Amino acid sequence: MAVVDNPRSPLPGQLRGLHLFHYGGAPCAQRVRFVLAEKGVRRGPSVPWRSAAPEHLEAAAGSYIARPVSLPRQQNLTEAYAAIHPHMVVPALVHDGVLHIESVDIMNYIDSALPGPPLVPAAAADVCRDLIAKASALQTAVRHLTYRWSLGGLAKLKSAKLDELDRLDSEDSPERLSVFYRAFSRGEIPDSTYVAHVRSLEDGFAEIEALLARDERAWLTGEHFSMADIIWSVKMLRIFETGYPFEKNFPGLGLWFERVRARPTFEEAIWRDVKIPSRVFRFKARLQNVLGRGLEAVASEPAAGAR
């Protein structure tokens, strides 16, 4: 369990109830919000993420206080946020003064610590855990595709910010944001790296497509919606926004994803935050594809995508 003992910031220790440091469009934060919604935990008020005002310290029972950290404004890449989350990413969850990081660990903690329907079905626990692990291993690929085909130049950092990030980043961080941002901002990531990440995701989606087709199951672990559906659907949403041709390469995934999107918890946890930016990203992706500069140009042909 990824618990941060004695964080450098005093804020987590002051918080009572559930507090989520998050960003609306961040996939790792989206899946944690999705789990909270499925467990019946309501989203409470949104407050400034650094706020220690007395009225912002205690969340009401059955809800969480949202503390949005703006990634476009680079609020996560600051000394103040690094004192909360040493890897400078979202989400971070505080429950009664205890700070939890790493999104999958947070999801597991919520599922085990809070009442509500279990999201790792006992009858298919091994399958569920395996699917979660495979999805987690693809997070770096998702980042590369997002920055290359969605965010583009908007996500590049200037030299001064890169130097600050080098200072804040910890060598034991699995994220190593300073390394990624420096290479991305300077255009040093070769096209072959991006293509390799596309292929890794295609292999993962092909496995999910085959799993769904095997017995025409409704959900990834069978008849019960699970944490595996949450983590893979969030991943698919992000890659869909980059312009990947799912309808052509993985048509079965589209039907499953529509079932996920139809859940009220998806609307509450994800769509309410990203409806407009998602449409903007998809418009940009369609334009890039029409011009031959989009992700579609490097996607596998359907026969290979269905391997």
Give φ, ψ of 250 to 5 degrees.
Answer: -140, 70
Radius of gyration of the chain (CA): 19
pLDDT tens-place values along the chain, 307 residues long: 589 999 999 999 999 999 999 999 999 999 999 999 999 999 999 999 999 999 999 999 999 999 999 999 999 999 999 999 999 999 999 999 999 999 999 999 999 999 999 999 999 999 999 999 999 999 999 999 999 999 999 999 999 999 999 999 877 778 889 999 999 999 999 999 999 999 999 999 999 999 999 888 999 999 999 999 999 999 999 999 999 999 999 999 999 999 999 999 999 999 999 999 999 999 999 999 999 999 999 999 875 444 4
Q: Where in the chain is the domain with CATH 1.20.1050?
A: 122-305
Maximal C-alpha separation, the chain = 59
E strand segments, the chain: 3-4, 18-22, 42-46, 63-68, 92-95, 98-100
The alpha carbon of residue 292 and the mean position of all alpha carbons in its chain are separated, in whole angstroms, by 28
Considering only the top CATH level, what class is 122-305? mainly alpha
Q: Where in the chain is the domain with CATH 3.40.30.10?
A: 3-113
CATH 3.40.30.10 holds for 3-113: yes
